[in-house]
Structure 1
Amino acid sequence: MSADHALQMMAQLFWNCFLIALPVLAVTLAVGVLISIFQVVTQLQESSLSYVPKLAAAGITLLLCGSWMLNRLVSFATTLFSSIPNLK
């Protein structure tokens, strides 16, 4: 296996990791910003107010996007395993 091929496989790995993690991270970031704005406006500094909505949003996002995430991961793993015989 050449260094170029190994770097290409690593680039694909990082890109897939980014795409798989993006929905959950983006939704929890957006919910966190909205909750922070709400806390600043109302001056309500309850610690559970920031965790519970983010946890619920992450769970809902996993329910909605989980099949796509798993499909993407399985597709990448299948491609990776099928390329093993071509490695030299």
Structure 2
Amino acid sequence: MNEADALDMMRDAVWAIIVGAGPAVVAAMAIGLIIALMQALTQVQEATLTFVPKIVVILIVMATTGAFTGAHIFAFTERVYGRIERGF
């Protein structure tokens, strides 16, 4: 295994993490921004108000994108195991 193979594998790993966590993180940021805007407009400064909507939205997003995320991580794992099997 040379440096190019290691960098390629690390790039694939980072990309798999971004694709796997991306939908949930984007949904959490969007709902957090909406709730923060509503809190600023209504001047209701309740710290615990953001948790329940974020949890619900993240669960919904993960339920809808779980198959895609799982397939992407499975494909990455197959590539890594294939490289190990071939000796890189």
TM-score by length of 2: 0.93
Q: How does 1:7-86 map to 2 (within 5 A)?
A: 7-86=7-86
Aligned mates of 1:17, 1:5 — CA distance in 2 = 18
Aligned mates of 2:46, 2:85 — CA distance in 1 = 56
C-alpha root-mean-square deviation of aligned residues, in Å?
1.1
Percent identity between matched residues is 27
Shift of 1:85: 2.7
Aligned residue-pair number: 88
Aligned mates of 1:32, 1:40 — CA distance in 2 = 12
Q: Which moved more, 1:78-87 or 1:60-69?
A: 78-87
Aligned mates of 2:85, 2:70 — CA distance in 1 = 24
Q: Quick one: which amino acid aligns to residue 50 of structure 2?
A: S
Q: Which moved more, 1:45-54 or 1:57-66?
A: 45-54
Q: Quick one: which amino acid aligns to residue 76 of structure 1?
A: F
- Give the ranges of 4+ consecutive aligned residues of structure 1 lying more than 2 Å apart after TM superposition: 85-88
Structure 2: which 5+ runs fail to align? Answer: none
Structure 1: which 5+ runs fail to align? Answer: none
